[in-house]
Every structure is written in C-alpha cells, then in structure tokens.
C-alpha cells in the first residue's frame, strides 16, 4: 500500500507539471513506446514495472511506454537483437550491463550522451555510482543507464551460526574464516549424509560472476577495460578457483554443478548455511526465510571486494527518434532518487545513486533493515563485472571451465588454460 500511495503522490506532482500538455495530448493518439524487460514469468516485479509505466504514461499522456516481458536476460538480448536486425527494435530494453560491448559491436544502441541536452540532464547522468558506470561507458561515451544493479553478497543463517558457536552478528571476513565457518556449519545425519552444507556458491548461468567473487578479493581482474583481452590463466585466478574446488573436496560445499535458481531456496530450506549470490535476492529471502539471517560483504583475501552486476537501460539506434526521446524521458523519470529508492526496497537491488539513499524512505528502510545497505557499502571496493567483446561466447567458455573444475573433469589450472586459449582465439580480431 505504501508503494501505491507513493506512486500516486509522485504522479500527481508530475501531472501538475504536465497539465499544459493534457488537452493537446488527449486529442492525439499517444506514441507507442515498446520497452523490453527481462522477466521470465509474471509476479511481483512485473506488477511493479507495469505500475511505473502506468504512472509515467499518466504524467506524460503523449507517450505510452509498454513493457514487453521477454524472458531471461539471455532470451531478451536475443529478441532485442533480432528485432534490431529486422529494423523494428524496441525503443529501449533493460539488458545486462555486460552486454554493452556486444550491443556496440552489433551497432544496435545509441549513445545516451546524444540525448543529454540540459544542465539538469548532465547532473542526472553524473549522479550514478561510479562503480556502476564502469560497465556503462566505453570509448568516451555513455551507452547504458544503471537500473537494476547489484553486487554479490553472502547471506548467512544466524541461527545456524549460533548453533555452531559462531558470532551470529559477524559474517566471515576472509577466506580462512570462511573455510573454518563452512566446516563448523556442515551437518550430517546418522548415516553420514550431509543435510546442511556450510557454504553454497551456484555455478550455472553466472559461474563467471561467482568466480569473480573469489578473484576480486584475490586482487586480480579477469579482463581489461576495453574488453579485448582476458587473463583467465593467471596464477591468482587459478588460486581463486582452487579455493572454490577445495570447499567441494572438503565436503563443506555441494559437489558438482550447483543451480543458480535453486540456491536461495536451498538457503531458506536450511540445506546451506551460507550462500553467495546477488543482492537482487534480498527481498525474496526477507519475505520467505523463516529464520533470522545476516548479509555480509564478500570475504576478503588479499583485499575486499565484489564484482558489480545487473542490468542497464539501453536505447536502440534504429528506433524512431521520437520513441528514443520518450524512452530517454522514462529512463530519467524511473531513476530519479524517490523512484530509485522505492525500486531498491521493492526489488532488493542497489539504488543506483547516492541521492536515492538520502531520501527519507530509504534512510528509514536502511535503519529498520540494515542488511539492505551491505551491497551499497561494498561499492567502493567493487570492480566491473566481467565483460568482453563477443561477451556471450567468452563467458560461456569461462562458465564451462569453472564447471569442469568443480565437477572434477579438469584441474583448475588445466580448465583455465584451455579457456584462455579459446578466449584468445575468439578475441583475436579485437586486439
């Protein structure tokens, strides 16, 4: 109810500003503005996005922003690029921040800078967290606008910590503490079967991203800023993957490949005492966990840190200019501090600007639920999510390497050496 009241107030204020347009716009058919959004199924998030579109349209009656729910991130980029190639792209889409190089290579997106005209526009664009802009800018241009952005965090079961004699108010701070805690938290039944793993890190879909939660604290980057070169076989990357494989070998982490989608459920069902996953799962876990849980920054080793993650808004180059302009106005509207704050509370994603955290609503939320501030507080030590040209091909190579090491078909060193060779082959033309 609070969210709907907030949106009504915001819409009323915007409607006052738009009153001069109402009579003319009502006599015209609103401009249809298709907007692709990556949700595979309906549910709370689609209702929130539908609500934002409806309120924007009410305040801007000359436009009709129409969300199109296009499946997973992977399915959404395929649909968006297919539409681009057919000459009928959406005006905008939320796609992974790491899709930026792919979208540039396909000549599919327009620089956001082309639409920034006023001092207010320039102030808005400068207002986002720098860590999120690292995956939004390239070649001196801004290609994406941060929207549903994240860092990776540790969720831990405070009750399990108490039971194991660990401090329930303190997440493991480094690899040594993490491994020790995982051993103490692993529980077996009378037959010796593990009923609760100490730690679980998913390895489907985003294995490369989870590897980054170990390589970042080990102070090594997987790719250069230009997205043309990778360092997958660096000794520090091998050491990071070996740490993950070691947790499996020591029986404190599930064997083989672990599903991304079921990891939060395994945590809520007490099959894993610590999980490592996106802060985007925070609202879901808060609503459904039947026990007290903590959220901690990623455990350090040489340093602290996490990769950023999540999705940006992009503007499609072949969309009619008036649709692009409408989509740009929507991006600005939906990322203004009050809405960015509300979106963070609704979804669990990190609000994309410091100004959003200064709003009374998010300040109060952070006081009542401090777990919501952990991902934000990790931003100063966060790095850009792994992204290269030919990004889907290169990340698949790295995902396969991580899975090969975890299921024991290759050593970490061999898996990463093979991945390096294949990635070098794919990226040769960009060097």
Residue 235 in tokens: 């000794």
343: enclosing H helix or E strand: helix 337-347
Euclidean distance between CA atoms 388 and 110, whole angstroms:
19
The DSSP secondary structure of 260-279, one letter per residue, reads TTTHHHHHHTTSEEEEEEEG
In degrees, to the nearest 5, what angle opens at C-alpha 149 toward C-alphas 200 and 89? 120
| Residue 272 burial (C-beta neighbours within 10 Å; 0-12, 13-18, 19+) | buried
d(CA 282, CA 208): 21
Q: How far is CA 21 from the centre of its chain?
A: 37
Residue 44: what pLDDT? 80
Q: For position 40, what pLDDT does the model report?
A: 62
The CATH class given to the 152-305+385-427 domain equals: alpha beta
Gap between the Cα atoms of 359 and 382, Å rounded: 23
Question: Using CB atoms within 10 A of its CB, is residue 367 exposed (0-12), middle (13-18) or buried (19+)?
Answer: exposed
Tokens of 364: 């109060």
User: Distances in Å between the alpha carbon of 353 and those of 236, 305, 348, 359?
Assistant: 32, 19, 15, 11
Two tokens at 61?
């009656």
pLDDT for res 41? 57
* SS3 call for 149: strand
**Residues in the chain where the model's pLDDT stays below 70:** 1-27, 40-43
- Phi, psi at 340, each rounded to 5°: -60, -40
- Are residues 382 and 131 in contact, defined by beta-carbon separation less than 8 angstroms? yes
For the 31-150+309-383 domain, the top CATH level (class) is: alpha beta
**Taking the chain, what is the end-to-end CA distance rounded to the nearest angstrom?**
53
Tell me what pLDDT residue 21 has: 42
- Interatomic CA distance for residues 171 and 156, integer angstroms: 7
Q: Do β-strands 187-188 and 194-200 pair in parallel, antiparallel, or remain unpaired?
A: antiparallel
Do 277 and 155 contact (CB within 8 A), yes or no?
A: yes
Lookup: tokens for 215: 């390589």
The region, left, alpha or beta by phi > 0 then psi within -120 to 50, assigned to residue 205 is: left
Q: Which residues contact 241 (CB under 8 A, 6 or more apart)?
A: 211, 214, 402, 405, 412, 415, 416
Mode of pairing for the β-strands spanning 92-96 and 31-37:
parallel
Same CATH topology for 31-150+309-383 and 152-305+385-427: the answer is yes
Q: Return the structure tokens found at 185.
A: 């938290």
Beta strands at 63-69 and 31-37: parallel, antiparallel or unpaired: parallel
Question: Alpha helices of 107-206 — where are they, by DSSP H?
Answer: 119-126, 130-133, 158-163, 175-185
**Cβ atoms within 10 Å, residue 384:** 22
Locate the DSSP E strands across 56-120: 63-69, 92-96, 109-110
CB distance 154 to 279 below 8 Å: no
CB 53 within 8 A of CB 65: yes
Q: Using CA atoms of 84, 88, 91, 97 in order, give the dihedral in degrees to the nearest 10.
A: -20
Cα 140 → chain centroid: 23
The CA-CA-CA angle for residues 372, 313, 429, to 5°, reads 115
d(CA 244, CA 403): 11
d(CA 385, CA 318): 27
For the chain, what are the domain ranges? 31-150+309-383, 152-305+385-427
């Amino acid at each position: 109810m609070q969210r709907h009241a907030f949106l009504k107030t915001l819409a009323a204020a915007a409607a006052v500003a738009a009153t001069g347009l109402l009579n003319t716009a009502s006599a015209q058919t609103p401009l249809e503005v298709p907007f692709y959004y990556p949700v595979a199924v309906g549910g709370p998030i689609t209702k929130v996005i539908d609500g934002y579109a409806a309120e924007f349209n009410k305040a801007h009656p000359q436009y009709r922003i129409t969300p199109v729910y296009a499946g997973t991130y992977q399915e959404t980029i395929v649909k968006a690029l297919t539409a681009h190639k057919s000459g009928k792209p959406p005006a905008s889409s939320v796609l992974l921040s790491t899709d930026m190089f792919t979208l540039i290579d396909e000549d599919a997106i327009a620089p956001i800078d082309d639409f920034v005209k006023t001092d207010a526009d320039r102030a808005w664009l400068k207002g986002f967290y720098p860590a999120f802009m690292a995956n939004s800018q390239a070649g001196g241009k801004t290609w994406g606008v941060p929207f549903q952005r994240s860092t990776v965090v540790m969720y831990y079961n405070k009750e399990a910590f108490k039971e194991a004699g660990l401090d329930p108010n303190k997440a493991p701070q480094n690899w040594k503490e993490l491994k020790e805690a995982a051993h103490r938290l692993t529980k077996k039944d009378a037959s010796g079967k593990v009923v609760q793993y100490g730690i679980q890190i998913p390895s489907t879909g985003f294995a490369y991203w989870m590897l980054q939660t170990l390589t970042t604290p080990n102070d090594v980057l997987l790719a250069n800023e230009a997205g043309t070169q990778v360092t997958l076989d660096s000794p520090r990357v091998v050491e990071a993957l070996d740490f993950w494989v070691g947790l499996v070998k020591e029986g404190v982490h599930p064997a083989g490949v672990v599903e991304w989608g079921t990891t939060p459920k395994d945590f809520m069902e007490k099959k894993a005492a610590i999980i490592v996953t996106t802060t985007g799962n925070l609202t879901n876990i808060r609503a459904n966990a039947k026990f007290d849980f903590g959220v901690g920054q990623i455990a350090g080793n040489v340093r602290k840190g996490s990769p950023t993650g999540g999705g940006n808004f992009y503007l499609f180059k072949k969309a009619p200019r008036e649709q692009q302009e409408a989509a740009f106005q929507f991006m600005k509207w939906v990322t203004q501090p009050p809405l960015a704050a509300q979106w963070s509370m609704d979804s669990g994603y990190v609000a994309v600007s410091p100004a959003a955290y200064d709003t009374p609503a998010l300040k109060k939320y952070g006081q009542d639920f401090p777990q919501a501030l952990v991902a934000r507080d990790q931003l100063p030590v966060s790095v850009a999510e792994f992204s290269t040209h030919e990004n889907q091909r290169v990340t698949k190579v790295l995902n396969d390497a991580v899975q090969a090491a975890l299921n024991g078909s290759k050593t970490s060193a061999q898996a990463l050496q093979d991945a390096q060779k294949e990635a070098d082959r794919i990226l040769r033309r960009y060097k």
